[in-house]
């Protein structure tokens, strides 16, 4: 009995703690938030805002909110504050819901959902652009110390299948808080814009914000439906090839060196691939490395072309595109070296000279013998 008493006390305490956790949730009736609104604050950007229900009982509990994105792409998350910003495409419309929740280790309570939406922009089907693609590229800016590197942006697209012939498209991009309209377009045979070029932008090549591109349009015959798209920079950034690639042969060793590409990323942020092609037998060697030097054992009687390309390492950002290969550098010679030719010539000449000397010796030695033989016959 003495042994059982502490056990009963422990069980009783645990039961009271469990009831204490459950009691507030059982007695509180959660009410949904009020004044839920969705406001478009920029290209492909919305602000969700709501207020706590004024009739909600306050019981010294920490209320939270669950946000559910219904369209264009489903998502959900929880927050303690009463607003949330989202970056999302809007040409298909946007809708979301929010509810009040109360949770702890033992229970979960939730109010009913309240919803709001942003309608899809007007426009005739089939008139928006299709196959929108964009690429960025970094160049050195020798005239600016604050931003030594500039990022260009190039986008192309196809005209909508049902767009009238007089359709004209206009492109805008947003990166962070900056929004710009395109000024340099390329056109098709009907003078419709089908590509855009920004030689300088406010895009940061090392940044992690979404790049938003919006293309709307106009026509005298129908409303042109807008189209917007999100791009992660690492998926569209066209890295420059490595600089100053050199290759030298010493004996049977090939030494290759290069410098990092023109980029805002530091030298330790690059992976490289080296391609060595033996033009004599067609053998292709590709090696991946993180340093800017490479040594290979080669056949010194062959000719080689050497190329190097680069990519930003996953240590510095998400894996992206490889650069183009650098211009090929040709080293070596698939013909026999002059020294070996001379050695072969000297060897053959020596053999001929020895044979000539032996022939002369034979003539000298055999001359008297032939004379004696001739005299004896006479």
pLDDT digits (tens, 9 = 90+) for 259-301: 999 999 999 999 999 999 999 888 999 999 999 999 999 887 8
Question: Which of 205, 238, 271 delimits the end of a domain?
Answer: 238
Domain presence at residue 368: no
Q: Report, as an integer, the average pLDDT of 201-213.
A: 94
**Do residue 215 and residue 287 come from a single domain?**
no
Q: Report, as an integer, the average pLDDT of 117-141.
A: 96
Domain presence at residue 248: yes
Q: Which residues contact 58 (CB under 8 A, 6 or more apart)?
A: none
Domain presence at residue 28: no
**Do residue 247 and residue 302 come from a single domain?**
yes
Q: In this structure, what token pair is assigned to residue 368? A: 């008297």
Q: Is the pLDDT of residue 184 over 50?
A: yes
**Do residue 267 and residue 283 come from a single domain?**
yes
- Whichever domain contains 231, its CATH number is 2.60.40.10
Tens-digit pLDDT profile for residues 91-104: 999 999 999 999 87
What distance in Å separates the CA atoms of residue 373 and residue 378, rounded to the nearest whole number?
9
Domain presence at residue 346: no
Domain presence at residue 161: yes
**Do residue 81 and residue 149 come from a single domain?**
no
User: How far out from the chain centre does Cα 263 lie?
Assistant: 14
Mean pLDDT taken over the chain:
87
**Do residue 138 and residue 215 come from a single domain?**
yes
Domain presence at residue 376: no
Residue located via tokens 């419709």: 192
**Do residue 234 and residue 253 come from a single domain?**
no
Share of the chain above pLDDT 90, in %: 69
Where residue 374 falls among pLDDT bands split at 50, 70, 90? low
Q: In this structure, what token pair is assigned to residue 91? A: 């040409």
Domain presence at residue 351: no
Question: Which of 290, 309, 331 delimits the end of a domain?
Answer: 331
Q: Is the pLDDT of residue 25 over 70?
A: no
What distance in Å separates the CA atoms of residue 326 and residue 242, rounded to the nearest whole number?
7
Most confidently modeled of 104-118, 224-238, 346-360? 224-238
Q: Report, as an integer, the average pLDDT of 317-323.
A: 94
- Write out the residue range of the structural domain in which residue 290 sits: 243-331
Q: Report, as an integer, the average pLDDT of 324-341.
A: 76
Where residue 353 falls among pLDDT bands split at 50, 70, 90? confident
Contact 43, 69 (CB under 8 A): no
Q: What is the pLDDT of residue 366?
A: 63
**Do residue 217 and residue 142 come from a single domain?**
yes
**Do residue 231 and residue 321 come from a single domain?**
no
Q: Is the pLDDT of residue 6 over 50?
A: no
User: What secondary structure, in 3-state letters, does the chain show?
Assistant: CCCHHHHHHHHHHHHHHHHHHHHHHHHCCCCCCEEEEEEEEECCEEEEEEECCCCCCCCCCCCEEEEEEEECCCEEEEECCCEEEEECCCCCCEEEEEEEEEECCCCEEECCCEEEEECCCCCECCCCCEEEEEEEEEEECCCCCCCCEEEEEEEEEECCCCCCCCCEEEEEEEECCEEEECCCEEECCCCCEEEEEECCCCCCCCCCCEEEEEEEEECCCCCECCEEEEEEHHHHECCCCCEEEEEEEECCEEEEEEECCCCCCCHHHEEEEEEEEECCCCCEEEEEECCCEEEEECCCCCEEEEEEEEEECCCCCCCCCCCCCCCCEEEECCCCCHHHHHHHHHHHHHHHHHHHHHHHHHHHHHHHHHHHHHHHHC
Q: Report, as an integer, the average pLDDT of 202-222.
A: 95
Predicted TM-score (pTM) of the model is 0.78
Question: Which of 222, 238, 254 delimits the end of a domain?
Answer: 238
What distance in Å separates the CA atoms of residue 308 and residue 286, rounded to the nearest whole number?
9
What distance in Å separates the CA atoms of residue 153 and residue 183, rounded to the nearest whole number?
12
Pairwise pLDDT comparison (146 vs 313), residue with the higher score: 313
Q: Report, as an integer, the average pLDDT of 139-151.
A: 81
**Do residue 248 and residue 202 come from a single domain?**
no
**Do residue 193 and residue 257 come from a single domain?**
no
Pairwise pLDDT comparison (325 vs 348), residue with the higher score: 325
Number of folded domains that form the chain: 3
Q: What is the pLDDT of residue 75?
A: 96
Where residue 340 falls among pLDDT bands split at 50, 70, 90? low
Domain presence at residue 177: yes
Q: Is the pLDDT of residue 378 over 80?
A: no
Q: What is the pLDDT of residue 4?
A: 44
Most confidently modeled of 25-39, 120-134, 143-157? 120-134
**Do residue 108 and residue 178 come from a single domain?**
no
Distances (CA, A) of 126 to 27, 54, 192, 222, 332: 55, 46, 16, 11, 58
Nearest to 198 by CA among 176, 213, 216, 217: 213
**Phi, psi angles (nearest 5°) of residue 69:** -85, 125
Neighbour-count burial of 113, counting CB atoms closer than 10 A to its CB (0-12 exposed, 13-18 middle, 19+ buried): middle
What distance in Å separates the CA atoms of residue 208 and residue 280, rounded to the nearest whole number?
46
**Do residue 263 and residue 327 come from a single domain?**
yes
Contact 69, 75 (CB under 8 A): yes
Q: What is the pLDDT of residue 341?
A: 57
């Amino acid at each position: 009995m003495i042994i059982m008493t502490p056990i009963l006390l422990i069980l009783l305490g645990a039961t009271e703690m469990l009831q204490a956790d459950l009691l507030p949730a059982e007695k509180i009736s959660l009410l949904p938030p009020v004044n839920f609104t969705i406001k478009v604050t920029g290209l492909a950007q919305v602000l969700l805002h709501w207020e706590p229900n004024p009739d909600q009982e306050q019981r010294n509990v920490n209320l939270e909110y669950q946000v559910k994105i219904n369209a264009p792409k489903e998502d959900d998350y929880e927050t303690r504050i009463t607003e949330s910003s989202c970056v999302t495409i809007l040409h298909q419309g946007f809708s979301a819901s929010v509810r009040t929740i109360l949770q702890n280790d033992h229970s979960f309570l939730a109010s009913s959902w309240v919803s709001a939406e942003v309608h899809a922009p007007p426009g005739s089907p089939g008139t928006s652009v299709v196959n929108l693609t964009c690429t960025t590229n970094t160049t050195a800016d020798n005239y600016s110390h604050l931003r030594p590197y500039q990022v260009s942006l190039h986008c192309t697209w196809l005209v909508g299948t049902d767009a009238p012939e007089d359709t004209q498209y206009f492109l805008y991009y947003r990166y962070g808080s900056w929004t710009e309209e395109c000024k340099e377009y390329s056109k098709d045979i009907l003078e419709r814009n089908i590509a855009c070029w920004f030689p300088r932008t406010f895009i940061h090549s090392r940044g992690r914000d979404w790049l938003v591109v919006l293309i709307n349009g106009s026509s005298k015959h129908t409303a042109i439906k807008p189209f917007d798209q999100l791009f992660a920079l690492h998926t569209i950034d066209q890295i420059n090839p490595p600089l100053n690639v050199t290759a030298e042969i010493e004996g049977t060793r090939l030494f290759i060196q290069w410098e990092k590409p023109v980029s805002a990323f530091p030298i330790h942020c690059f992976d490289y691939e080296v391609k060595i092609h033996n033009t004599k037998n067609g053998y292709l060697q590709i090696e991946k490395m993180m340093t800017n030097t490479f040594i290979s054992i080669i056949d010194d009687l062959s000719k080689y072309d050497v190329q190097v390309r680069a990519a930003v390492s996953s240590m510095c950002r998400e894996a992206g595109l490889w650069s183009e290969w650098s211009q090929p550098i040709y080293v070596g010679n698939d013909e026999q070296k002059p020294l070996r030719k001379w050695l072969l010539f000297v060897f053959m000449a020596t053999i001929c000279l020895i044979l000539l000397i032996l022939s002369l010796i034979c003539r000298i030695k055999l001359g008297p013998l032939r004379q004696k033989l001739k005299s004896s016959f006479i």
